[in-house]
C-alpha cells in the first residue's frame, strides 16, 4: 500500500476496508416514482456485471439487469417502497456494498440520493448536506455535497458533474477529509475551500482537470474539531472586488454559545495555495445591544455573504439566529468590512428587513444587469414555525436594507415542517437564468434537516420577477 498525497479518492475507503476500491461500487442513486437510475464502477474488472434489486427485507427473488455500461435504470418498481440494490461481478461474484433507496416523488433533477438507512458512508454520516455549485470555463457544471450526521466524523464530500446544463449528472470522485466545501473558479483554476470536519481546520485545494484529481489541501486556519471550537465555513460565495477575493467565515461553535464573524480575503493576484497569502479579519462577536437586535437568547450571525454594497464598501450579510427571540424571524445581520485594512475587525452596520434572512443559510449575489441583490431563501409563512424550511423563495433587494419575496419556488407548507426541507441553496447566475443546487429532504428523509436528496433546479428569465 502506497501513501496517498492527493485529496481525491475513487471511492474513499478506510484502510481496513480496501476491497471497496477493487470491488464494484454504486456511486450515484436517483430514485423516481417507479424506477431507480444509478451509476456504478468497478476498479477491479471491466465486466460483465449484473444489478440485483428487490424490496428491502422482503426475501423476494431479485430483479436482475445485465449492465452494459456504467449508467443504468430499473423500471417497474412499486411507488413508496424501500428497495435494496447491489452490483455483482459475474466472473468472480464480487459484490458492491448493498445500497438502499425509496421510490417516490422528488423535486427538480436528482443529482444524488442517500437513504437515511443506507450505511455506505456511515464513517462520515448519512445525509447529503452543504451543496455547492460552480460553472467551469468549459461550461461543465460541478456540484459537491458533504455527508453529514450529528456526532459523526463528517469528513467526506462527493462530486458530480453535468455536461448538458444540469439535465444529467455523473459521479466524479470523493474528497476526504472535506466538509462544508465551497467550489469556486479563479483565474480559470478550480478551487475548493473546506473544513476537514465540523470546526476542523479550514483548508483549500485545487484541480487542473475539472475536479477529476486534486492537489493535497493546504491549511489556512487551524481548527480543533467537532468537540471544540474552530472555523465555521459553510459553502458561502467568494467575491472579487478591487483586486481582492472575499468570503465570509465564522469562529466558535454551537456548544460555546455562538460565533464571531469575519471576512477571509486574499490579493486576487496571489497564489491561493499559499496559506500566508490569506488574511482574516479579527472575529467580531455578536452584541445584543446593537440597534434593532432581537430580544431574548440569540446566537447572533452565521454563514455570511461577502458582497459589495451600493456605497462601494464590502459587507458581510449573515443569517440571523432569531428562533426563540422576539421577533423570531424576519431579519438578516449586516456587518461592514474594512477595505483599507483587511485584518481589522468588522463593524456593525444594520439589521436588514428580510423574510428569509434568519435561522437558515442563504447565498446572496449581486447582479449587475438588474442592479439588484438576489438570494434563494427559506421564507417563513407560518409564524408558529420560525425555523421552517419547507417553503423556498427567491428574494431581491436594491439596497441590502429591505428585501422582498420575488417568487415562491417550492411551497410545501402543507407538509410537516419537521419532515420536509429545501435549504442551504447554492446558486449562480447563468445569463438570463439562475441555476441552483438544493439540500432537499422529502419522501421520508430522516428529518427536514438531514436531507436525503441533492437536487438541481433552474429559474428561467429570473429578472422578470423584479418589481419596480
CB-based contact 229:201 (threshold 8 Å)? no
Q: Are strands 141-148 and 156-162 parallel, antiparallel or unpaired?
A: antiparallel
C-alpha cell at 103: 421510490
Please give the pLDDT value at position 92: 86
Position 226 pLDDT exceeds 90: no
Identify the burial level of 369 via C-beta atoms within 10 angstroms of its C-beta, where 0-12 means exposed, 13-18 middle and 19 or more buried. Answer: exposed
Residue pointed to by grid coordinates 425555523: 387
Percent of the chain with pLDDT over 70: 99
Q: How far apart are CA 378 and CA 356, in angstroms?
A: 5
Q: Cβ contacts of residue 58 below 8 Å, gap of 6+?
A: none
Quote the distance between the C-alpha of residue 147 and its chain's center.
10
Nearest to residue 36, comparing CAs of 115, 119, 127, 148? 115
Please give the pLDDT value at position 28: 98
pTM, rounded to two decimals: 0.96
Please give the pLDDT value at position 342: 96
Please give the pLDDT value at position 468: 63
CA angle, residues 226, 144, 441, in degrees to nearest 5: 75
Residue ranges of domains in the chain, CATH in brackets: 8-102 (2.60.40.10), 109-465 (2.120.10.10)
Q: How far apart are CA 322 and CA 355, in angstroms?
A: 12
Rounded mean pLDDT, 364-368: 98
Q: How far apart are CA 5 and CA 241, in angstroms?
A: 34
Tell me the CB-side half-sphere exposure of residue 19, using CA atoms within 13 A.
Answer: 5
Nearest to residue 156, comparing CAs of 167, 144, 166? 144
pLDDT in tens, 272-299: 999 999 999 999 999 999 999 999 999 9
Please give the pLDDT value at position 24: 96
CA angle, residues 403, 386, 305, in degrees to nearest 5: 45
Rounded mean pLDDT, 210-220: 97
Position 255 pLDDT exceeds 90: no
Rounded mean pLDDT, 61-78: 96
Amino acid at each position: 500500500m502506497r501513501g496517498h498525497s492527493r485529496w481525491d479518492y475513487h471511492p474513499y475507503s478506510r484502510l481496513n476496508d480496501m476491497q471497496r476500491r477493487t470491488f464494484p461500487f454504486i456511486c450515484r442513486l436517483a430514485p423516481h416514482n417507479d424506477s431507480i437510475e444509478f451509476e456504478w464502477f468497478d476498479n477491479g474488472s471491466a465486466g460483465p456485471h449484473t444489478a440485483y434489486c428487490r424490496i428491502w427485507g422482503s426475501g423476494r427473488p431479485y430483479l436482475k439487469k445485465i449492465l452494459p455500461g456504467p449508467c443504468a435504470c430499473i423500471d417497474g418498481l412499486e411507488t413508496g417502497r424501500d428497495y435494496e440494490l447491489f452490483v455483482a461481478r459475474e466472473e468472480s461474484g464480487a459484490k458492491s456494498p448493498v445500497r438502499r433507496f425509496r421510490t417516490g416523488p422528488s423535486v427538480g433533477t436528482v443529482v444524488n440520493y442517500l437513504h437515511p438507512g443506507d450505511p455506505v458512508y456511515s464513517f462520515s454520516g448519512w445525509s447529503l448536506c452543504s451543496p455547492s455549485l460552480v460553472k467551469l470555463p468549459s461550461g461543465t457544471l460541478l456540484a459537491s455535497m458533504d455527508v453529514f450526521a450529528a456526532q459523526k466524523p463528517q469528513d467526506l464530500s462527493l462530486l458530480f458533474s453535468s455536461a448538458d446544463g444540469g439535465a444529467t449528472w455523473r459521479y466524479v470522485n470523493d474528497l476526504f477529509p472535506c466538509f462544508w466545501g465551497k467550489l469556486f473558479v479563479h483565474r480559470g483554476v478550480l478551487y475548493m475551500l473546506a473544513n476537514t470536519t465540523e470546526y476542523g481546520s479550514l483548508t483549500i485545494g485545487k484541480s487542473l482537470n475539472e475536479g477529476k484529481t486534486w492537489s493535497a489541501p493546504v491549511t489556512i486556519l487551524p481548527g480543533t474539531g467537532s468537540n471544540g471550537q474552530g472555523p465555521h465555513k459553510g459553502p458561502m460565495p467568494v467575491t472579487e472586488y478591487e483586486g481582492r477575493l472575499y468570503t465570509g467565515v465564522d469562529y466558535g461553535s454551537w456548544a460555546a454559545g455562538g460565533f464571531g464573524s469575519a471576512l477571509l480575503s486574499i490579493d486576487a493576484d496571489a497564489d491561493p495555495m499559499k496559506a500566508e497569502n490569506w488574511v482574516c479579519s479579527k472575529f467580531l462577536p455578536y452584541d445584543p445591544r446593537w440597534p434593532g437586535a432581537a430580544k431574548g437568547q440569540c446566537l447572533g450571525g452565521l454563514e455570511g455573504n461577502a458582497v459589495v454594497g451600493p456605497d462601494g464598501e464590502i459587507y458581510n450579510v449573515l443569517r440571523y439566529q432569531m428562533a426563540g427571540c422576539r421577533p423570531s424571524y424576519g431579519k438578516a445581520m449586516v456587518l461592514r468590512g474594512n477595505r483599507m485594512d483587511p485584518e481589522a475587525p468588522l463593524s456593525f452596520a444594520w439589521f436588514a428587513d428580510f423574510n428569509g434572512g434568519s435561522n437558515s443559510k442563504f447565498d446572496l449575489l449581486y447582479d449587475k444587469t438588474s442592479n439588484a441583490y438576489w438570494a434563494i431563501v427559506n421564507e417563513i409563512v407560518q409564524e408558529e414555525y420560525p425555523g421552517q424550511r419547507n417553503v423556498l423563495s427567491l428574494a431581491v433587494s436594491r439596497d441590502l436594507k429591505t428585501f422582498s419575496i420575488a417568487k415562491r419556488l417550492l411551497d410545501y407548507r402543507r407538509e410537516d415542517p419537521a419532515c420536509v426541507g429545501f435549504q442551504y441553496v447554492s446558486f449562480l447566475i447563468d445569463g438570463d437564468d439562475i441555476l441552483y443546487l438544493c439540500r432537499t429532504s422529502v419522501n421520508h428523509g430522516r428529518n427536514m434537516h438531514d436531507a436525503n436528496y441533492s437536487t438541481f433546479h433552474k429559474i428561467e428569465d429570473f429578472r422578470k420577477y423584479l418589481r419596480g
